[in-house]
Structure 1
Amino acid sequence: MTRRVFRYVPFTVEQDRTAEPEYEARCVSGDDTECGAESGTHRDPGPVEEWQRRHTQETGHRRYRRDFGDYAVMRPPAGLAELARVTGDTV
């Protein structure tokens, strides 16, 4: 079997729908040092936003660093992926 290596493949980047995204926030309010309070990690933004509202009400802090994380999958073009599957080549 001959193995071929493709030098350029126009992959697309897609969100991996099998993995849950993650949302979180950290309070960065403060003059000399940041508050540092954290929301914890959640699977949707609602609980993080509610934590921010409560933290602002309790402390008066109004500046937050928000982070969103997800997983990505690289997908080759459909025809190329099918060709590789049939021939046993790697893409």
Structure 2
Amino acid sequence: MIRRVFRYVPFTIEQDQTAEPEYAVRCVSGDDAECGAESGTHSGPGPVEEWQRKHTQETGHRRYRRNFGDYAVMRPPAEPAGLTPAGGGTT
């Protein structure tokens, strides 16, 4: 008989600080079809918001789909003092 032991490890989910988040927006204004104009991807919201303002001034369009993306990492809890990592024995 094969027996397995599964242990719960309380990982935390954190934003990966080594990768920049991404901001973008697409114009979804239109009666029959969406405009579809896009801001492009930027590392901050400022350029995206400025693109929206200009697009609204030029076209009168006022409805947008905003997208935000980032990277996440799973962090295990710190090992309690006195324990060795799996596979490492004590001498």
Q: TM-score, normalised by structure 1?
A: 0.82
Identity %: 80
Partner of 1:74: 74
Unaligned runs of 5+ in 1: none
Partner of 2:57: 57
Q: Which has the larger radius of gyration?
A: 2
Unaligned runs of 5+ in 2: none
- Offset, 1:38: 0.1
SS in 2 for 1:51: helix
Q: Find the aligned partners of 2:31 and 2:55 in 1 and give their Cα distance.
A: 17
RMSD of the alignment, in Å? 2.1
Greater percentage in helix: 1
Q: Deviations over 1:20-68 (max 9, x none)?
A: 1000000000011000000000000000000000000000000000000
Partner of 2:85: 87
SS in 2 for 1:67: strand
Length, aligned pairs only: 83
Q: Find the aligned partners of 1:6 and 1:76 in 2 and give their Cα distance.
A: 15
- Offset, 1:6: 4.9
SS in 1 for 2:47: helix
